Amino acid sequence: MITKICTLLLTALLLQTLCLAKNPPVVNDDTITDQVRIKLADDPLVKGGALTVEVKQGVVTLTGSVEQEKQKEKAERVARKVKGVKQVVNHIEIKTHP
């Protein structure tokens, strides 16, 4: 009897796992925003900087300023790699030194 109950419980857990694997969590704008911010902060070239990340319906808008063009380009590449991002609008400015 105990063996049957254990088998039923194990089967139920396996079915639940399969259902979760087929229906991954939905990626929403808040999740995308968090992931882009984390990835930008972790990037050694971009270092997060003074960048603002806004997301609306999967479209990421980056604003703020960086020291070099390559940082601007890298920030865009990093944002594009985040799951759920449909498009990146890059309004990051390059700081000019007097």
Report the domain count for the chain: 1
Write the pLDDT tens digit of every residue in 10-32.
676 777 766 655 556 678 999 99
Q: Is residue 40 a part of any domain in this protein?
A: yes
Q: Is residue 10 a part of any domain in this protein?
A: no
Q: Is residue 8 a part of any domain in this protein?
A: no
Please state the φ and ψ torsions of residue 92, each to the nearest 5 degrees. -70, 135
Please state the φ and ψ torsions of residue 48, each to the nearest 5 degrees. 75, -45
Q: Is residue 12 a part of any domain in this protein?
A: no
pTM here? Answer: 0.73
- Residue 86 DSSP symbol: -
Q: What's the CATH code of the domain at 86?
A: 3.30.300.130
Write the pLDDT tens digit of every residue in 31-75.
999 999 999 999 999 986 689 999 999 999 999 999 999 999 999
Q: How far apart are CA 72 and CA 38, in angstroms?
A: 16
Q: Is residue 20 a part of any domain in this protein?
A: no
Domain span at residue 60 reads: 26-94
pLDDT at 98 (0 to 100): 67
CB-CB neighbours of 53 under 10 Å: 21
Q: Is residue 79 a part of any domain in this protein?
A: yes
Q: Is residue 56 a part of any domain in this protein?
A: yes
Q: Is residue 4 a part of any domain in this protein?
A: no
